[in-house]
Structure 1
Amino acid sequence: MGKARAPRSDTWGHLRVFANTQDGVFAVDQGGRIVLWNKAATRILGFDADEALGRRCCDVMRGLDVSGNLLCYPGCQVMVLSAREQPIHHFDMRTRRKDGQEVWVNISTVIIPADGDQPGGTVHLFRDITQERHVPGWIKRGAEAPAEGARIGGAETVPSPGGGGKGPAESLTAREREILRLIAGGLTSSAIADKLCISHTTVRNHIQHILAKLGAHSRLEAVTVAFGQHLLASIPR
Structure 2
Amino acid sequence: MAETPIRLVIADDHPIVRDGLRGMFAGDPRFEVLGEAADGAQAVELARVVRPDVILMDLRMPGTDGVTAIKELARLGVPARVLVLTTYDTDRDVMPAIEAGATGYLLKDTGRDELIRAVRTAARGEAVLSPSVATRLLGQVRAPADPLSARELEILRLIAGGATNREAAARLFISEATVKSHVLHIYAKLGVNDRAAAVAAAFRSGLLTLDDD
Coarse TM-score class (shorter-chain normalised): 0.3 to 0.5
More helix by share: 2
Structure 1-normalised TM-score?
A: 0.31
Kindly name which structure, 1 or 2, has the bigger radius of gyration based on alpha carbons. 2
Structure 2-normalised TM-score?
A: 0.34
